[in-house]
Amino acid sequence: MADASNNNAFVEFERVQKSYDGEVLVVKDLNLQLPKGEFLTMLGPSGSGKTTCLMMLAGFETATHGEIRLDGRPINNIPPHKRGIGMVFQNYALFPHMTIAENLSFPLEVRKFGKSEREEKIKRALDMVEMGAFGGRRPAQLSGGQQQRIALARALVFEPELVLMDEPLGALDKQLREKMQFEITHLAHRLGITVVYVTHDQTEALTMSDRVAVFNDGVIQQLAPPDELYEAPQNSFVAQFIGENNTLEGVVKEINNGIALVQLDDGELIDCKPVNVTKPGERTRVSIRPERVEFNKDRLQGGAHLLKATVKEFIYMGDIFRTRLSVAGNDDFVIKSRNAPDQVRLEPGAQIEIGWLPDDCRALDA
């Protein structure tokens, strides 16, 4: 961390800890650097410390230890009106006594924009969230989803360099939510805005972000681009939290040439990629994505270990088939296959053999 302050990070958390009560750390040793223009999402279960991190970055809470820097300067030394941060709070926080237009005008007035420029920016921001006709209403006269869209418009109206968003789409229906996801990412990239986004919706995190920080219990479990996070989870928590995942439990027998031989609890042996297991005798959870499991013998690689499986349930989902199997004592082993003309529809009760590439089968912490 010797060169921490002369790198070109735009936002930087260095060894940040936070405790509200002086006892429990809700954020533990957080290190994070964002270059300008990055879209970073904090993803994690309820209570894992996401909002706390945003509040510290916005300057509403102070770190108990460590430092947060914006463009190289400690955040606490920058007066709030010079921070250039747009923020969407988890609970909207619109000014109730002001109309919608006045809510949007406020950040512009603070920044000394003239009347005609304000009107033009307000119109553009309201149109973006499809709320152009609502400028004269007060927040209480809007639905939750509409208030959320206004909160979003207010955060973006002054084209800030940094935008912090805490679950900004939680109250929207699926269709509007997907449209707004698209709008937000495009707008951010077009204007070069740096975004720190908080959600507990993993699909949203994967589709919107340049990188995702997976939080659990005040610690970043993994920080990576979406494809890496999904395809190469570094531990069991991340594997379970991101996407659907099959787990088989067992013990590491040997590790040779980058392949771990794992004996599953029912006695079967399989080859895996050792991710965070290091030696024979260690217990492990083996993780395999449903779409990486193959049951068509022609498509299986020679030499791969095969496991016997019993088909429990076949679910037709339109674009894909989802089949539940019993494998090595696990009755919830799911495989997904594309609905192609030559795809087999497995019948419940059928006995099959399944396999996969050792690289797709990851031996993680138990």
Ligand X SMILES: Nc1ncnc2c1ncn2[C@@H]1O[C@H](COP(=O)(O)OP(=O)(O)OP(=O)(O)O)[C@@H](O)[C@H]1O
Instruction: Kindly list the residues in this chain that would bind Mg ion in the complex (CB under 5 A).
Output: 51
Q: How far is the CB of 169 from Mg ion (least distance, A)?
A: 14
Residue with smaller CB distance to Mg ion, 51 or 103: 51
Q: How far is the CB of 208 from ligand X (least distance, A)?
A: 17
Q: How far is the CB of 61 from ligand X (least distance, A)?
A: 8
Q: Which residue is nearest to Mg ion (CB)?
A: 51
| 357 HSE (CA, 13 A, CB side) | 6
- Give the residue among 277, 288, 291 at the shortest CA–CA distance from 239: 288
Q: How far is the CB of 177 from Mg ion (least distance, A)?
A: 18
Burial readout 206-232 (b: 16 or more C-beta within 10 A, e: otherwise): bebbbbbbbbbebbbbbbbebeebbee
Q: Which of ligand X, Mg ion, none interacts with 20 (beta carbon under 5 to 8 A by kind)?
A: ligand X
Residue spans of beta strands (DSSP E) within 162-279: 162-166, 194-199, 211-216, 219-224, 246-256, 259-264, 269-274
C-alpha span between 210 and 88 (Å, rounded): 20
Q: Which of ligand X, Mg ion, none interacts with 46 (beta carbon under 5 to 8 A by kind)?
A: ligand X
Residue with smaller CB distance to Mg ion, 53 or 223: 53
Residue with smaller CB distance to Mg ion, 184 or 335: 184
Contact criterion met (CB below 8 Å) for 295 and 335: yes
Contact criterion met (CB below 8 Å) for 131 and 146: yes
Residue with smaller CB distance to Mg ion, 6 or 46: 46
C-alpha span between 260 and 240 (Å, rounded): 20
Residue with smaller CB distance to ligand X, 20 or 182: 20
Q: How far is the CB of 147 from ligand X (least distance, A)?
A: 18
Which residues form the interface with ligand X (CB under 6 A)?
A: 20, 26, 44, 46-52, 90, 200
Q: Which of Mg ion, ligand X, none interacts with 168 (beta carbon under 5 to 8 A by kind)?
A: none
Q: Which residues are bridge partners to 325 per DSSP?
A: 311, 333
- Give the residue among 287, 296, 304 at the shortest CA–CA distance from 337: 296
Q: Which of ligand X, Mg ion, none interacts with 49 (beta carbon under 5 to 8 A by kind)?
A: ligand X
